[in-house]
Amino acid sequence: MKIVLTTTIFFFSSLLFLHAQVRLGGLTGNPRLIQKKSQATGQLVNKNAVYIAAGQKMQICPGEIHPAALSLEPNAQKKLEQFKVINSGKCVEIYAPLVPFEEDIYLKSMFRDGKLREIIRHVVAVQLAQLPFTEEFSYADDVVVYPDENKWLDKDAYVNDHLAYHPPTLGVATLDGTDENGQPYGEAGSSDTLTSTFIDLSPYDPGDDVYFSFTHQPGGFAVAPFEGEDLVLEFKNADQEWNEVLRVKPTYFFPSETPPAFSYEELSLGDQRYLHENFQFRFRNIGPGTGLVGVWHLDYIRIEENFEPSPQFRLLIDDVALGHPPYSIFKNYTAMPLTQFLADVEAALRDTLRVDLFSHTEETEEVDNNRWSVVNILNGDTLAPTNILIDPINIANIQPPPGQYAEIQSPLPPSQISSLRDNMQSKLAGTDEAIVEVTFDLNEAPEADRDGVTENNSASTIQYLSDFFAYDDGSAELQLELSGDFGAAALEFELLEPQVIKGMLLSFVVVNEADSGDVFRYELRSGSLEGNVLVQEDNARVDYPGNDVRFSQFAYYEFPDIEEGVELQPGKYYLVIRSTRGVAVNIGYDRQMDQTNSRHYVFDVTNREWDLASANPFYAQGVIMGRLVTSDFNRTNNEEASDDFLLWSIYPNPVRNELFIEGLENPVPYLVYDSAGSLRLHGDQLKNSLDVKDLSPGSYMLMVKNGPEWQSRKFIILGQ
């Protein structure tokens, strides 16, 4: 039986709360990080590391060290030649070389109580940073989930583009109640920490107008912090002591309400205590430590000299940034079977383009000649005419209001919509699937003439025309809890062509495999929510996410007693998920998805009737993460395949730079997913080798396609 955490947020009327059998709350873990860790190798963060700026010294004072000397592990003396270590009685001083360095040293000492204890296990000497220091988390590698190791010394913060509401730039750093592996801390107090690298402020005087500025937001699409769950900013002085310089109090709001905008802060660094060569700063969030709750988002962190305070007290920089990846080009879904798409391309495609921008300029600025491309990554076909779908009289000349987040929606010219439909109809006909990459490129003035950065000017979204229906984007921000006899939620799917349906995908919020096993019920009904029952299972088990990297946050359920699936005729069908008595079931809830065209229902326990979630004021914008799967669904299970195509192999494994492939007779389409399920590389001409040197260390899956079948191989990338 699930125990409902006390930090879960409920926002129903008092009558409905008494029956609270369908309610929203905060995630008990971070599904993306949990899945990344579950498929990774080794520890992601070395908690015993000591960090020091290259060319600088650091003093570690563990207590009364015996004056006799230091005890080292075998070969540690050779490693210590890279440093200068002095036993001064109570402290050990480490002098780092002038170049960045990382090494295990296992430094131990005999203390006066006669016990041998470890003082330092691992030392990392990092490059000393200079001004200006700028971080806005819009990494070119947009699937990175940890802060840039060149700027930050820990990995508690979660870098993402889906949890914040109207962010200043495409990515943010999120502080919450889960650790770097997505697991809840389990106790209240200081939770996540974001610690900067060492920054040299010694060249500056108090009169040089050195300022620190940043933006922040409580909650966003996740659960906002309560009173006392503050955001803390600390500076490290010349004596290596942390001083609290700012404490931000939260503004709580219900998940059904619009989140507050990002706030801007600027602080003078004119205090001589901070103008030293090893300056650092860090953010900490105070929270319950029970999951993705008590959330704070950070963005656009800057330290610069000759700073002029903003008269409007807002982020003022010559930069126009994308605020969100491209939205779905499909009208009703984020993914759908190709056969259903081709049945009515006109009905399936949107005829408007939405672009989210944030202008940080002082005056209105025109941003023209922007590009929107649509490409089938399985064969490289360009589906959008000439790769440009933005007419000069339409949205090519964007003029976002200064200092504001703009949701720009504009109808596309009929000629361009017609061309897109014709291209997709003709180029996808005769294929069995497509993976569509939608990219928006914001064309700013030459970056050398601007204060901004280029990473926030381009973003892509991957959409599947394959073997399943989906309303969600694969990332949960909240969880929907179903409990009691009447807890139920449902999704509506419409078929335009006959289709064999074989199962479903559900994203359950489970922190580890021990949370699996609770019972729930599901049904597939036709015509209406109370229509004929086509499939029913009363003893389904909550399952930990499977190993299919395409759906790393989902568990797959094949419909019972229907080996080949069930063939459905055109019409509407309803996937209904129900709880059972005494058991709470938590389903991932995609909070940021627009409900305008999604058909998501919840059961009103009070009135004993179904409500469209978007019409119920107690529910936030969003949709439960459930997907209907066709008979073509491929689990990439190599053990079940039998043709000669399975004879291909990869080497070396682990690998650093280039992965070699043997056994492929002809070039084939390929996909590379990381352990969190994010698509990292793709192409249509893989045969002999694959360049992987730009991928971060970790676990990956290479998938190659031969006809309708996908085959996969797991490989590991080592650090350089």
Query: What is the average per-residue pLDDT within 75-89?
Result: 61
Structure-model confidence comparison of residues 672 and 547, the more confident one: 672
Tens digits of per-residue pLDDT, 569-585? 999 999 999 998 777 88
Alpha carbon distance, N-terminus to C-terminus of the chain: 46
Query: What is the average per-residue pLDDT within 221-230?
Result: 93
**Identity at 168, one-letter amino acid code:** P
In 299-371, alpha helices (H): 338-343, 345-348
pLDDT at res. 389? 43
User: Among 195-199, 395-399, 686-690, which range has the highest average pLDDT?
Assistant: 195-199
- Determine how β-strand 57-60 pairs with β-strand 92-95: antiparallel
> pLDDT tier at 400 (50, 70, 90 boundaries)?
low
User: Among 425-434, 522-531, 700-709, which range has the highest average pLDDT?
Assistant: 522-531
Residues 575 and 442 in one domain: no
Whether residue 77 has pLDDT greater than 50: yes
Please enumerate in sequence order all residues whose Cβ is within 8 A of that of 318, keeping only pairs 6 or more positions apart, or say none.
360, 361, 450, 451, 452
Distance, CA of 95 to CA of 448 (rounded, Å): 38
Whether residue 638 has pLDDT greater than 50: no
Share of residues in the chain with pLDDT > 70 (%): 77
pLDDT at res. 560? 83
Mean pLDDT of the chain: 80
Distance, CA of 62 to CA of 65 (rounded, Å): 8
pLDDT at res. 390? 42
> pLDDT tier at 246 (50, 70, 90 boundaries)?
very high
Residue 707: which CATH number? Answer: 2.60.40.3080
Residue 323 covered by a domain: no
Residues 162 and 75 in one domain: no
Residues 594 and 708 in one domain: no
Whether residue 317 has pLDDT greater than 80: no
Domain boundary among 613, 630, 647: 630
pLDDT at res. 308? 79
Distance, CA of 173 to CA of 161 (rounded, Å): 9
Strand ranges in 365-498 using DSSP code E only, listed in sequence order: 371-376, 381-382, 405-411, 434-441, 458-466, 468-469, 478-482, 488-495
Residues 196 and 290 in one domain: yes
What domain range includes position 670? 638-717
pLDDT at res. 79? 59
Query: What is the average per-residue pLDDT within 354-358?
Result: 83
Whether residue 396 has pLDDT greater than 80: no
Please name which of 428, 438, 505, 521 lies closest in space to residue 472, comparing C-alpha atoms.
505
Which value, in Å, is the radius of gyration of the alpha carbons in the chain? 27
Domain boundary among 431, 451, 468: 468
Residues 67 and 110 in one domain: yes
Residue 579 covered by a domain: yes
Residues 490 and 419 in one domain: no
Please enumerate in sequence order all residues whose Cβ is within 8 A of that of 298, keeping only pairs 6 or more positions apart, or say none.
137, 157, 172, 173, 174, 175, 194, 214, 215, 216, 283
- Is 378:669 a contact under the CB 8 Å cutoff? yes
Residue 516: which CATH number? Answer: 2.60.120
Residue 50 covered by a domain: no
Range with lowest mean pLDDT among 218-222, 307-311, 365-369: 365-369
Residue 236 covered by a domain: yes
- Is 192:284 a contact under the CB 8 Å cutoff? yes
> pLDDT tier at 131 (50, 70, 90 boundaries)?
very high
**Identity at 638, one-letter amino acid code:** N
Residues 611 and 693 in one domain: no
Residues 272 and 179 in one domain: yes
Secondary element (H or E) of residue 506: strand 499-506
Distance, CA of 384 to CA of 420 (rounded, Å): 5
Whether residue 60 has pLDDT greater than 50: yes
pLDDT at res. 516? 66
- Is 381:427 a contact under the CB 8 Å cutoff? yes
Residue 569 covered by a domain: yes
- Is 508:476 a contact under the CB 8 Å cutoff? no
pLDDT at res. 550? 64
Tens digits of per-residue pLDDT, 277-312? 999 999 999 999 999 999 999 999 999 998 877 766
Range with lowest mean pLDDT among 176-180, 407-411, 666-670: 407-411
pLDDT at res. 495? 96
Half-sphere exposure of 568 (CA within 13 A, CB side): 30
Tens digits of per-residue pLDDT, 327-338? 899 999 999 999
Residue 142: which CATH number? Answer: 2.60.120.260
Residue 489 covered by a domain: yes
Cα-based angle 43, 49, 54 (whole degrees, multiple of 5)? 130
3-class secondary-structure state, position 601: strand
Query: What is the average per-residue pLDDT within 499-527?
Result: 83
Residue 597 covered by a domain: yes
Residues 287 and 343 in one domain: no
> pLDDT tier at 447 (50, 70, 90 boundaries)?
very low
pLDDT at res. 705? 85
Query: What is the average per-residue pLDDT within 171-195?
Result: 92
Domain boundary among 97, 126, 155: 126
Share of residues in the chain with pLDDT > 90 (%): 34
Residue 339 covered by a domain: yes
Whether residue 201 has pLDDT greater than 70: yes
The total number of structural domains that make up the chain? 5
Residues 335 and 186 in one domain: no
Query: What is the average per-residue pLDDT within 120-138?
Result: 86
Residues 140 and 259 in one domain: yes
Residues 643 and 604 in one domain: no
Secondary element (H or E) of residue 524: strand 519-526
